[in-house]
Amino acid sequence: MEFIGWTVLLVVPVVYLLVALAQVQAASFAVASAADAASRILEVEPGDAAVAHARTAVELALSDQGVDADPATAMTVVCADAACSAAVVRVQAGVDLPLLGTAGLGRNVVVMDAARSVTLAGTEGQP
Q: For residue 124, is it within any domain? A: no
Q: For residue 126, is it within any domain? A: no
**Whether the predicted pLDDT of 5 surpasses 80:** yes
Could you give the number of structural domains in the chain?
1
Tens-place pLDDT, residues 29-58:
999 999 999 999 999 998 889 999 999 999
Q: For residue 111, is it within any domain? A: yes
Q: For residue 63, is it within any domain? A: yes
Q: For residue 50, is it within any domain? A: yes
Q: For residue 71, is it within any domain? A: yes
Compute φ and ψ for 77, nearest 5 degrees: -125, 120
Q: For residue 82, is it within any domain? A: yes
Look up the domain containing 89 and give its range. 2-119
Q: How far apart are CA 22 and CA 29, in angstroms?
A: 11
Strand partners, 89: 77, 116
- Report the CATH number at residue 89: 3.10.450
State in Å, rounded, how far the first CA of the chain is from the last one.
Answer: 76
Q: For residue 52, is it within any domain? A: yes
pLDDT of residue 80: 86
Tens-place pLDDT, residues 85-124:
899 999 999 988 887 766 767 777 889 999 999 998 776 5
Q: CA 115: distance to chain centroid?
A: 10
pTM (2 d.p.): 0.82
